[in-house]
Amino acid sequence: MKKIKYSEITPEKIYKNRRSFVKSLGYGASSLALATIPFASQSQADDRNELTSFKDITTYNNYYEFGTSKSDPYVNSQNFKTSPWTISIEGEVEKPIKISMEEITETFTSEERIYRLRCVEGWSMVIPWMGFSLSKLLSKVNPTSKAKYIEFESVYDPEQMKGQRYPVLNWPYKEGLRIDEAMHPLTTVVTGLYGKKLPNQNGAPLRIFIPWKYGFKSAKAIVKIKFVEKMPTSSWMWASPREYGFYSNVNPNVDHPRWSQATERIIGKDIWVPRVKTLMFNGYGDEVANLYTGMDLKKYF
């Protein structure tokens, strides 16, 4: 078969041409049942699994460093300088390292990973990311016995990021994961999307993506990865601990204090297309539920 370039065809065509698609979304066995389930659910499942267009993925963004409205990141990040770029891996490790973006791209092969992004605001997209498991990058260091969590830090550069001139969040943007969450194969270092290098507004040169958690856990433009003993306080926990917990697993049964999390709007669909049901762990429960065995997910939201 002729190799097709992403730029030549629409996402919808890619979707129809690729049989591996549903599988890579993490629906494995359940997708086999698609053909036999009633029409209503069939169409919901189809809506939920369709790739979001390149245009929507790159013009409808949350990236407060470049402004708080959805089009701001696209408009304001085009001249952001992403090279040279170095990431420091430090904290509770035997020997901290600094690794350049060049070394990262030479050492680790990025593969296509199609995952759904569910924003805590109640919308979702399906994005063909390019990336590799964070565990591979983390294996460059040996954590000490004290290490329990990992803190991710985005770049601080108010000269280039005008959003950082205002105290919208406590800059730099920080996020955190438990080490076992960070080591999970679905936790991805993202270097691109739609087969291209990562656009600035999506977190270039490198961001993380955690498919089963709300989008805000997936910090962009990362410069520091720190192994720590205590649970880190993320920027969103700092801003509003009542609304944003450390775990922030996608959970339709735990509402945000100001709105329901039961359903989501699919970006790119016409306004009359109904919202779809939000899935526990964003649909990745088969893979990740065991990380939370015995935990009260209402308490640890």
Closest CB to ligand MTE: residue number: 215
217 DSSP 8-state letter: G
Instruction: Please confirm whether the linkage preceding 232 is cis (ω < 30° from 0).
Output: no
User: Which of Mo ion, ligand MTE, none does residue 200 bind (CB under 5 to 8 Å by kind)?
Assistant: none
Q: Among residues 227 and 236, whose Cβ is nearest to ligand MTE?
A: 236
Q: Among residues 121 and 287, whose Cβ is nearest to ligand MTE?
A: 121
Is-contact 232 248, C-beta < 8 A?
no
Q: How far is the CB of 210 from ligand MTE (least distance, A)?
A: 10
Contacting positions for ligand MTE (CB under 6 A): 61-65, 117, 119, 154, 173, 202-203, 215-216, 218-221
Q: Among residues 87 and 117, whose Cβ is nearest to ligand MTE?
A: 117
Buried b (16+ CB within 10 A) or exposed e, 205-232: bbbbbbbbbbbbbbbbbbbbbbbbeeeb
| Binds Mo ion by CB under 5 A, chosen from 62, 76, 235, 282 | 62
User: Which of Mo ion, ligand MTE, none does residue 219 bind (CB under 5 to 8 Å by kind)?
Assistant: ligand MTE
Is-contact 11 271, C-beta < 8 A?
no
Closest CA to 283 of 49, 60, 54: 49
Instruction: Look at the alpha carbons of 128, 129, 134, 137 in this order and tell me if their dihedral is positive or negative.
Output: positive
198-257 binders of Mo ion (CB under 5 A): 215-216
Q: Which two tokens stand for residue 107?
A: 């050492």
Q: Among residues 92 and 134, whose Cβ is nearest to ligand MTE?
A: 134
Q: Is 168 in the site for Mo ion (CB under 5 A)?
A: no
Q: Which two tokens stand for residue 236?
A: 């969103």
Q: Among residues 218 and 282, whose Cβ is nearest to ligand MTE?
A: 218
Q: How far is the CB of 88 from ligand MTE (least distance, A)?
A: 16
Q: How far is the CB of 289 from ligand MTE (least distance, A)?
A: 22
- Judged on CB neighbours under 10 Å (0-12, 13-18, 19+), 129 is buried
Q: How far is the CB of 191 from Mo ion (least distance, A)?
A: 21
Q: Among residues 227 and 244, whose Cβ is nearest to Mo ion?
A: 244
CA separation, residue 165 to residues 24, 161, 172 (Å): 40, 8, 11
Q: How far is the CB of 117 from Mo ion (least distance, A)?
A: 8
The whole-angstrom separation of Cα 22 and Cα 25 is 5
User: Which of Mo ion, ligand MTE, none does residue 173 bind (CB under 5 to 8 Å by kind)?
Assistant: ligand MTE
Binding site for Mo ion (CB under 5 A): 62, 119, 215-216
